[in-house]
Every structure is written in structure tokens, then in C-alpha cells.
Chain A
């Protein structure tokens, strides 16, 4: 009897009040590539959004790794069953921008009535996903940047001072340090690097404010051409090549697994990789002390530029209703709150994307307790991004990175000189860029 009454009352309320209160919540689908530990963090963030209001329900689905998520999004879009939010890795940025399948984030937020102060965001992160006019196209989500890890125990043994966490050392200095370590027999090899294209060419170019590609690294036109066969990059690769001969540099593979293994096994004293390495090293290294420092710069570069990011951003796909987009906007707004950003940063090591969240963490003494986490952020924030250091906007960037990897490997195994390899990398990449241009023109 009582239950019946309740139902009657509930129905009565529903009829009496505007539809919004009792209507089914609007579902927002988000396809992402975050698995295991990161997947759980994402689930928690989604849950707290869903609990915080009743109008929208965000459903997060892991569709595999970055390639798989992108392909799932493409296939779904073609079948008109696309999710609202798609997480896409940074190299897919140009493909997404050209696709005509997206709803730019700056428009979305404006239409939904959020007046967002974009200057409060980490500019080096934001600028990677802006168009040439500075409009934000996708919402940065997980962003990282490369830093330099080093074996403190080995440094101590060789009597080398620990490195500063804010002031970058020069490449010459790194050469001296690694020489000392190798010559004294303290380290079997000097440095290793993960993701060589990203760390040694893309970031190296940005830090030295040297164009990676013409047309402001591709931001200002599809008719961009690679420019990495410039004297600065060639001499950097030449230096690394000479270092391979006296073991100051050791090639450990394209991705991070090989180089990381060498650093953990103390086969190499210095290891360049993304800030996401912090968590990995904390877990794996037990028998020596290590620390991190900014990436080295050339002595000629008195004021080094910001490094550039890697990671992924959230793209909003076309073809949904206004109401759903309102929900998407609310969710993006929620994700950039201080609380969510510090949670995300603390759990995953990816950067908080707003200055607010960063300052909040700083005020709470977080970076004092976790000085390692500040190294990457400081390196990103040390300069205002220029047209050259804000990021890269290239079509078929996946193929271009493959080409760079291949050509660099031919340098390391002695089949090509650095100049030959970089010239060839430019030539081959330009063919890719022309095909991409032809597709969209």
C-alpha cells in the first residue's frame, strides 16, 4: 500500500514540475585509451562528475591503446555512432583538425555559456592544441614532457655535483660528466634516451627555438616542409654519434622500454624520458639513488625556450544535440577544476593543465614534498611559447616519426652520416606531407 502511494506521489511530482527534474539524464560517451592504474583514475573522475549532478551521465569506455581508440572513433564516425568525446594522441592532432568531424572546444565552451579565461591554462600545453589564431581546438587531457633522469649514486662516486632542478646544464657539460663516468669505469655507458624523435629532435628544436618544419611548424598551412636538416640539429646528432663511439651515448631502442632497462640496470648513468618515468622509476629502482633535471641546452642558448608536450587531448565529435554538448561542456569544465587536476596530477604524474591548479598544489607544499614533479612543469613554464616552441602540426606525423626513427637508427649503426640521414628524413617526410596536403586540398 505504502509503495503505491509513493509511486503516485512521485508521478504527481513529475507531472507538476518541469521535465528537466525527472527526465532521464543525458548520456555522454567518452572513449579513451587509459588503462589499468590510469583507467581507474579516469573512472574515479567520471564517477565524481556523475555524483556531482543529475542531469548528465558520463560513460567512459576504454577502447584500447591510442591507435585503437583513434580507429574506433573513425569507424564509429563513419557508422554515425560516434562518441561525444574522443581521446586522441598528440600526433593525431592535425588529422583531427582537418577532419571536419570535430566541434572546436573554444566554440563549445562559449556556446554552453562558459566564459573561460584561457590565459589561466599552462600555455605550453594549450598551444599544442590551438589553431594558428590561438583558438583552442581540443581540450588537453594527459600531457607530459621529457626530462633528464640521472643516477645520483654514480654521480657521487665520480665526485660530480648533483644537478639543478631548474637550471639546465649545457650539452657540453653533459659530455664532460658522461666522459668522467665512463672513463672512471663507474658507468658502462653515459646516456640513453627514450622516444628519440620526440626528445632529441622535436624537443631539442623547440627548446632552441629552431623550426622543426616550415609554416610555423605546420600551424600556418598544409604546405609545410620539414626543416630538421639544419646545422644545429645535424651537429647535435653528430655529437651523439661521436658519443656512441666512446660509450657516452648508447642506443637502447625507439620506445622507452630498452633505455629504461639500461638505466635501471645501471648500464647508463643518464636517461632522458617523459615525466611519466618518475612513477616507473620509483617503482622499479631499489638499489641506487636517482634524481631528475631539465633537458640539457646548448651553451649558445642563454634563454632556453619551453619544451613541448606529448600525450593526448579530448576532441569533441560532431553530430550530437545541443543538450548533449551542454553536458560535454559541463564535464570538461569539471575536469579542469582544481580538485580534479590535482587528483589527476598526483595519481598519474601528468601535468595539471591550469595555473590555478598548479598554484594550488604549490601553495599546499606539494612541490616541496615532490620536487621531481616540478622539474617538467618548470621546464614548460620557463618561457612564453613562441610560434616555434608551441608545438608541431603535421599531417601523417606517425609516419614522419617512423621515418625519423629509421634514419636515426641508420646513424647509430653506422650506415649513414647524420647529414645524410637527416636529409633523407626530410625528403621522405615531405613526400608524406605532400600526400596529406593533396588529400585535404
Chain B
């Protein structure tokens, strides 16, 4: 293995630029875009977080870490961090597991495979807000068809408008639903890249389908798995905003108030720019930390080569 890869590397031709400026010139547009649209706003946010300012920009007061102190002495903010992490783990687990399950099923030879696959990808095209509304129509205690049915038939007290746990389940379902399709596409691609000969050889050796999955398919899917876990966590931190906004608005009792929704509520609606900026910085740091941890510890277990 080791020798082979050294051999391959030495075979790769390296092209070099004769002019010293050209490479920098070529990457300049990308750097400019990144600086303008990523670093500049991020720095603006960072500086804003040290100010208390009037939204119209007529007065601004430098207050050191006031906004951060206010945040971290607010027990509800700490609760919101816990809610966010719980929610993102739930969404990532549900959507990765189901995405993998459906991909494994769809990977088997079927009639109308192309059609089935296309249909399975569709939900990804649905905007999170729409997905939220659809789920609301199913699960709202007053007019949700499914909610009314289960409450009538099973005598349950499903009520996401009143109970935090029910609300959490509802937004997890709504957020996972469309992400399953995304995960499905990647798992599907990953599955198809696995040489059939490997699986067939194992089958001839008498390995059961389950054993084949665990011993061959799963390890070969780890790069996809890793990539998706990073993407799903980021998705649930940020893009689920639309679901929260349409379904629970952070309620009941703040039980679904995830960090990104609070940033919006305090900044965009409440116009407390300083606190909102400080929250954005915390959110940014948190996601950097999580991604770093994922790369540091989880990636070690990933097998990139066959």
C-alpha cells in the first residue's frame, strides 16, 4: 500500500509557473470574493459585537464585552445552545440513517430505478420554509390531518403548540425530511463506486448480506459518511431557520429556539444589533469548533482509499 502510493505520487507531473506573479493574479478574484463576502462581514460582525448601537446608526457606544456578558449570564441563552446541539444531532442522525437506508435499498436492482431515484431526490428541491408548512399541515393540533387522527384514534395528547418535546419532534422531522434526499444522493454515489466484484467475492465466501454491508460497504462509505456528518450539522445549525420560522417561531416556551433563530429574532426583528452580532460570533465560533473536532477526531477513522 505505502509503496504503491509513493509510486503514484512520483508519477504525477508538476507544472510550475515561470512568472512569480501569475499564480497570485489567477487566484486574486477568488480571494477578493472571499474577502468581500466572507471576511469583511465577519469582521464587521465582530466589531459590532463590542458596541451598543442605535439601528439607524446615529449613536454607537463601545461597551467592551457587555454584549457577551449579557449573553452568558442569561440562562436561556445557554439553554438555547443545548437546544441547538440536541437538535442538530437529532437531525443529522435521523437524516443520515434514513438516507443510508434508502440508498442501500435503492441501490439494489429494481425496475424503474431511474424513476425511483429521481423521485427520492425531489424533496431536496423543496425550500425549508415550504417543508415546514407542509409538516405543519400534517401535525398542527388544530388543523393537522395526522395530528387530529392520532389524537382521535389513540387518545394521545400530541400538541406541539403546547409541549416543547412535541415541537422538537416536529421540527426534527420537517428538517430531516428534505435532508434525507441530499444524503441519499451522496450515499447512492458512494455505493455505486464500490466495485461489485468485492461484494460478489464476499458473497461467494458465504458472507451474509448484513455481514457484507458491515465488512465491505460501510467502511468504503466512511468518506461519504464523514462529509455528510459535517454538512448535516452545518445544515441543521443554519438552514433549518426556515422550518423554525414557519413552524414554531422558537416556541413553545423557547423549546425550539435555536441559536440562528435567536440571532434573527434579536437582530432583524428586535433591532438589538450588538447582541445579535455577539450571538453571531458565538455561533460562528461554535460551528468552527465542531467542524474542527470532526476533522480532528472523526476523520482519523475515515478510509479514503480502497
A251-B162 contact given A98-B54, A101-B58, CB 8 Å threshold: yes
Decide if B270 touches A396 in the complex (CB within 8 Å). yes
| Binding-face segment, B3-11, B168-176, B196-204, B250-258 | B250-258
Contacts A254-B251, A435-B52 hold; do A261 and B164 have CB atoms under 8 A apart?
no
Which residue of A is nearest B136, CB measured?
Answer: A257
Q: A405 contacts the other chain (Cβ, under 8 Å)?
A: yes
Cα A399 to Cα B274 in complex, Å, equals: 14
Q: In the complex, what residues of A have CB within 8 A of residue B163's CB? A: 413
Q: Are B162 and A262 in contact (CB under 8 A)?
A: no
A21 to B55, CA, bound (A): 40
Check A252/B142 contact, CB under 8 A, given A71-B268, A95-B55, A431-B70: yes
**Hey, which chain B residues are within 8 Å of A265, CB to CB?**
142-143
Given contacts A399-B265, A413-B164, contact A78 B271 (CB under 8 A): no
Are B54 and A406 in contact, with the CB atoms below 8 A? no
Set A74, A252, A267: member contacting B271, Cβ < 8 A = A74
Residue from the list A398, A410, A413 in contact with B270, Cβ < 8 A: A398
Residue of B143, B162, B270 with most chain A CB atoms under a 10 A cut-off: B270
Residues of B within 8 A of A412 (CB): 162, 252
Contact across chains for A439 and B53 when beta carbons are under 8 A apart: yes
Q: Is the CB of A100 within 8 A of B253?
A: no
B265 partner, pick from A71, A267, A402, A436, beta carbons under 8 A: A402
By the criterion CB–CB under 8 Å, are B161 and A415 in contact?
no
Q: Is the CB of A261 within 8 A of B61?
A: no
Q: Is there an interface contact between B54 and A439, defined as CB atoms closer than 8 Å?
A: yes
Which B-chain residue is minimally distant from A96 (CB atoms)?
B56
Closest B residue by C-beta to A439 = B52
A113 at interface (Cβ–Cβ under 8 A)? no
0 or 1 for each of A405-437: is its CB under 8 Å from B? (1 = yes): 111011011010000000000001001100110
Q: Give chain B's interface secondary structure class.
A: loop
Check if A100 sits within 8 Å of B56, measured CB to CB.
yes
Complex Cα distance, B55 from A78, in Å, reads: 9
Given known contacts A95-B55, A399-B265, A438 and B63 CB-to-CB distance under 8 angstroms: yes
Interface residues of B in 212-255 (CB under 8 A from A): 249-254
- A99 with B54, Cβ < 8 A, contacts A262-B142, A439-B59 known: yes
Q: How far is the CA of A70 from the CA of B273 in the complex (A)?
A: 14
CB distance from B268 to the nearest CB of A (A): 6
Which residues of chain A in 80-111 are interfacial with respect to chain B, using CB atoms and an 8 Å cutoff?
A: 92, 95, 98-101
Check A410 against B53 for contact (C-beta < 8 Å). Answer: no
Q: Mark B122-145, 1 if CB is under 8 A from A, else 0.
A: 000000000000000000111100
A267 with B142, Cβ < 8 A, contacts A99-B55, A100-B58, A435-B70 known: yes
B70: A residues at CB distance < 8 A = 431, 435
Interchain CB contact (< 8 A) of A258 among B74, B161, B253: B161
* B272 interfacial by beta-carbon distance below 8 Å: yes
Over the window 147-159 of chain B, the binary record of Cβ atoms lying under 8 Å from chain A Cβ atoms (1 yes, 0 no) is 0000000000000
Give chain A residues whose Cβ lies under 8 Å from the Cβ of B272: 396, 399, 432, 435-436
A49 interface residue, CB < 8 Å from B? no
Interface size class of B (residues with CB under 8 A): 35 or more
Contacting pair B56 A398 (CB below 8 A):
no
B22 to chain A, nearest CB (A): 38
Q: Is the CB of A101 within 8 A of B56?
A: yes
A interface residue count range (under 10 / 10 to 19 / 20 to 34 / 35 or more): 35 or more
A95 partner residues in chain B, CB cutoff 8 A: 55, 271
Given contacts A398-B270, A399-B266, contact A77 B57 (CB under 8 A): yes
Name the prevailing secondary structure of the A interface residues: helix
Asked if A409 contacts B57 (CB within 8 A), the reply is: no
Interchain residue pairs A-B with the least CB separation, the first 8: A409-B252, A409-B253, A439-B52, A261-B142, A101-B56, A398-B270, A410-B253, A99-B56
CA A399 to CA B254, docked complex, whole Å: 12
CB distance from A414 to the nearest CB of B (A): 9
Which residues of chain B are near A71, meaning CB under 8 Å? 268, 271
* A-B contacts besides A92-B271, A428-B76, 14 pairs, CB < 8 Å: A77-B56, A95-B55, A100-B54, A252-B142, A253-B161, A398-B270, A402-B250, A409-B253, A413-B164, A413-B253, A415-B253, A435-B70, A435-B275, A438-B66
> A100: which B residues are within 8 A, CB to CB?
54, 56, 58-59
Residue on B nearest A100 in the bound complex, by CB = B58
Q: Is B269 an interface residue (CB 8 A)?
A: yes
Assembled-state Cα–Cα distance A412/B142 (Å): 16
Query: Which B residues from 46 to 69 make CB contacts under 8 A with A?
Result: 52-59, 61, 63, 66
- The residues of A that contact B140 with a CB separation of less than 8 Å are 258, 261
CA gap between A65 and B74 in the complex, in Å: 30
A-B contact list, 16 entries, CB within 8 Å = A70-B271, A77-B56, A99-B55, A261-B140, A267-B142, A398-B270, A399-B265, A399-B266, A399-B270, A406-B253, A409-B162, A409-B252, A412-B162, A413-B253, A432-B272, A439-B52
Residue ID in chain B nearest A261 by CB atoms: B142
When C-beta atoms are compared, the residue in chain B nearest to A399 turns out to be B270
Residues of B within 8 A of A435 (CB): 52, 70, 272, 274-275
**A320 nearest CB across to chain B (Å):** 15
Q: Which residues of B contact A399 (CB under 8 A)?
A: 265-266, 270, 272
Per the bound structure, the CA–CA distance linking A99 and B53 in Å amounts to 10
Closest to A76 in B: B56
Residues of chain A within 8 A of B142, CB atoms compared:
252, 258, 261-262, 265, 267
- Decide if A251 touches B52 in the complex (CB within 8 Å): no
Which of these, B143, B249, B268, contacts A67 with CB under 8 Å?
B268
Known: A70-B271, A399-B265. A254 touches B249 (CB 8 A): yes
